[in-house]
Amino acid sequence: MSPWVSSLLAVSVVSGIPLAVTALLATQERAVRAIVPQLTALGSGALFGAATLHLIPESIKSGRTPLAVFVGIAVGYLAFALVERLLASHDHAHAHGIELGAPERPRGATTEPHPADVFSDQAHNGPGSRELAARLVPLAFVGDAIHNLVDGMLIAAGFLTNPAFGFLTALAIGLHELPREVGTFGLFVHGGVHPMKAVVYNLFTAIISFAGAAATLLLGSHVARLGENILPFAAGSYLYIAVAVGVPSLARQKDGSPRLSRALSLAGGFVLMAASAILG
């Protein structure tokens, strides 16, 4: 089987399974909305696990020095923090011209606390507010797109090197894709995106995996090397989203959702990523 067929088939499976699961979830809209707090916490734990147990170790394994990895992580974290601040100041939720459907803040509404201030301000409308979640929707979209681009590059590079290595690479990536994509789906819905529309966003980012694989197959493994250089930045972006979502998800909520269930969901997302790292 040619690298083209093997790579695109592997990307189809790795991307298709999470997409099918989120599409199934989206058909049960009432049930999904009832567990949005838990899904959001799961997503935060999964993103934290993806950054610390997958992206950062992969960055180090690729030959980068710890300092270079740290700098890349810091750049990714600060870049997403800056973008979130800019979105807050302009009061919109768009990414690269694509409207992400998050609700805009009503006129006259007070500004919700920023993730960095959440520890010191629990008294306002709650740090888990929809306004904050809406600002994080485009960041989650971009972060997911970057991650999927790199995944596609790495899968294709694996099959260019050796079919067996390509299969193992696809397996390792596939093991962490499902909890991560389900978590991202929860973040989208929490930010005000309709469940079916959230599936469409996941479809867009899945297509980017094919773009990454095709670019590697056309231009060679040095393109995959570029993807490896993006890994620390992607890790930093995921760490920012995980903190921005995770801290509010553990705070007391006005809707009365049990704090323990959200804490267990967050831990569950991390544990799933840990299990996928061990199995991969």
How confident is the model over 30-42, as pLDDT tens digits? Answer: 999 899 999 999 9
Strands 98-99 and 94-95: antiparallel
Query: Is pLDDT above 50 for 273?
Result: yes
Quick check: 183 and 269 in contact, CB under 8 A? Answer: yes
Query: Is pLDDT above 50 for 127?
Result: no
Please tell me the predicted confidence (pLDDT) of residue 257.
66
**What is the Cα–Cα distance from 174 to 16, expressed in whole angstroms?**
10
Query: Is pLDDT above 90 for 171?
Result: yes
Please tell me the predicted confidence (pLDDT) of residue 62.
85
Please tell me the predicted confidence (pLDDT) of residue 96.
40
Q: 101 in helix, strand or coil?
A: coil
The alpha carbon of residue 277 and the mean position of all alpha carbons in its chain are separated, in whole angstroms, by 16
Query: Is pLDDT above 70 for 276?
Result: yes
**What is the Cα–Cα distance from 93 to 181, expressed in whole angstroms?**
20
Query: Is pLDDT above 80 for 94?
Result: no
Residue 4 banded pLDDT, cuts 50, 70, 90 = very high
Query: How many Cα atoms sit within 13 Å of 64 on the Cβ side?
Result: 23
Please give the mean pLDDT across all residues of the chain. Answer: 85
pLDDT digit string (tens) for 175-216? Answer: 999 999 999 999 999 999 999 999 999 999 999 999 999 999
The arithmetic mean of pLDDT across residues 73-77, rounded, is: 97
Residue 250 banded pLDDT, cuts 50, 70, 90 = confident
The arithmetic mean of pLDDT across residues 113-124, rounded, is: 37
Other Cβ atoms within 10 Å of 121 Cβ, number: 13
